[in-house]
Amino acid sequence: MSQSVKRTALITGGMSGLGAAAATRLRAEGVKVFTVDIAAGADFQIDVTDHEAVANLPKQLPHIDILITSAGIVGPNIPLLQTTEEQWKSVFEINVLGTASFIKAFAPSMVENGWGRIVTFASMAAKDGNPNLSIYSATKAAVVALTKSVGKELATTGVLVNTIAPAVIETPMNKDTSSEVLERLTSLIPMKRIGKAEEVAELVAWLCSDKVSFSTGAVYDISGGRATY
């Protein structure tokens, strides 16, 4: 992060897990961080599916240089044939439309300013398609495609848009994941352990810095060796 320029960041899902870790890491760099979450204590207690509230949020904030969209849910852990239309809609509304809404709300001022960093969160599930997580896997694949598209659209503006695809990370998001599923997913990781939120936050901080200048629309794996493509 450039020490001579003070940046301001907005992080969705910023009160726990990857979002909270990213907030802590960026604050250590001197970045002013605002959080959005449905949890108490967030600077803005907003549901990312409330698109009107999201669209009005820029009016309540100073200029945002960095946007990190970490809000998301896993959804049902069941076979595709047992899923319902409502389950599909609810997970897509949060993971995909929520991400798109925040980019639409905050990218314009970044473009106008000639500098911006947007980091979205995908998953290894977007590449591998985890069994019994068809909805989650599909939404994260959509986030990858969304990021690639927006990255190309903004490629000449000074606004870089990249996504991170973690393997299993130790976060509250996985607290309801069964031990059997966690063991299976961990077995796919060559390092034979799950990741830590702080490790992901290091990658976030780098992607939000001036050190990254020739990468946009890219997918950055952080998987303990699970992903090789």
Residues with a known catalytic role: 136
CA distance 189 to 41: 34
Tokens of residue 18, six digits = 């990857």
Tokens of residue 124, six digits = 């290894």
CB neighbours of 73 closer than 8 A, spacing ≥ 6?
91, 94, 95, 136, 173
Tokens of residue 76, six digits = 């049902």
The strand pairing partners of 120, in sequence order, are 69, 163
Asked if residues 43 and 35 have their Cβ atoms less than 8 Å apart, the reply is: yes
Asked if residues 70 and 121 have their Cβ atoms less than 8 Å apart, the reply is: yes
SS3 169: strand
CA distance 200 to 15: 15
- DSSP annotation of 60 reads G
The strand pairing partners of 119, in sequence order, are 68, 162
